[in-house]
Amino acid sequence: MEVGKLLEEKVSRRGLIKGMGKLVVGATGIAVVSGFGTKILGNAEAAKKMSSELPWPYKKFSSKDIKRAAEIAHANWFKGFCTFATLSGIVEMLKEKVGEPYKSLPLEAFIFAHGGTAGWGGTCGTLIGSGIAASLATGHKTGEQIANEVVDFYSETALPIYVPDHPKAELKAKSTSHSPVCHISVGKWMKAEGIAEGKGPEGVGFLSAQQMDRCARLSADVATRTIELLNDWADAKFKTAHTSPVMANKIPSQNNCTDCHGDKIPSPGPFGTGMDILTGKH
């Protein structure tokens, strides 16, 4: 595949020094930032400038760091919704642990991606925040691999797991979305919680205290999973466990075909005729 080859070459050209550290090309020149080097230089010295080159320096999160990142993500949902919540949960900690270039990242530039992009119910915004953080810290190739694993976690895990010390609402239900799509994920959870039909205390399912706290907790869950994988990567233990659906299904897709297609799932082979359902020929 031409495109894949191009990307592959691009990554190779960057010449990452594997197993040793990460090459950071910034406005101030080139610096090899290894775990060792970062320690000697100190956080503030490691990378003073915002850099258009990836990856940026990463320092492993302790259990305590992860707990704080989750707390920030949960709290920040109420300031800027899901993408901002997940991204800032990770990046606020990296500002403390690493400093620049994370301090210069304009976190508000990504708020728009909430609610599946400006409220259009597409990809859950937490996954956009997660993918940005993972790509900044590891580069675009590993960042996308981590994003793929996080989407799989999001789709196949009963969420939310995180229980805040100071919840905004008591929640009963967890649900598995089988999809990264906000509309499906939120809808299934509200059904499970019993507030899909306006039964929440505020008389409405969406924007009830429960739904908002669910999405805030889920932001913490996605931040936590992202950090776990970043820590694995820092230990050279990260492995891709799942094939992206675009390769597995030969079209950008999810694995919850029946949710939308009913039993009219595209037949085997390249695309079969399953798209018929979208054009009314069924």
Site for a copy of itself in 46-75 (CB under 8 A): 49-54, 56
Of the listed pieces 37-45, 57-65, 159-167, 272-280, which binds a copy of itself according to CB under 8 A? Answer: 272-280
Of the listed pieces 29-37, 125-133, 156-164, 224-232, which binds a copy of itself according to CB under 8 A? Answer: 125-133
Q: Which is nearer to a copy of itself, 70 or 186 (CB)?
A: 186
User: What's the alpha-carbon Rg for the chain, to the nearest Å?
Assistant: 20
- Number of residues located near a copy of itself, criterion CB under 8 A: 94
Q: Which is nearer to a copy of itself, 159 or 182 (CB)?
A: 182
Q: Hey, what long-range contacts does 160-164 have (CB within 8 A, 24 or more apart)?
A: 160/214, 160/217, 160/218, 160/220, 160/221, 161/217, 161/221, 162/70, 162/74, 162/217, 162/218, 162/220, 162/221, 162/224, 163/217, 164/71, 164/74, 164/213, 164/216, 164/217, 164/220
Return the SS3 of 76: helix
Dihedral, CA atoms, 259, 144, 142, 139, nearest 10 degrees? -160
Using CB under 8 A as the binding rule, whether residue 8 contacts a copy of itself is answered as no
Using CB under 8 A as the binding rule, whether residue 140 contacts a copy of itself is answered as yes
Using CB under 8 A as the binding rule, whether residue 204 contacts a copy of itself is answered as yes
Site for a copy of itself in 248-267 (CB under 8 A): 250-254, 259-260, 262
Cα gap 86→230, rounded to integer Å:
14
Of the listed pieces 58-66, 109-117, 221-229, 231-239, which binds a copy of itself according to CB under 8 A? Answer: 109-117
Most distant CA pair in the chain, distance: 66
Using CB under 8 A as the binding rule, whether residue 81 contacts a copy of itself is answered as yes
Using CB under 8 A as the binding rule, whether residue 122 contacts a copy of itself is answered as yes
Question: Out of 65, 71, 96, 144, which residue is the one contacting a copy of itself (CB under 8 A)?
Answer: 144
Cα gap 160→166, rounded to integer Å:
15
Q: Which is nearer to a copy of itself, 67 or 71 (CB)?
A: 71
Amino acid at 174: K
**Least distance in angstroms from the C-beta of 63 to a copy of itself:** 27
End-to-end CA, the chain: 33
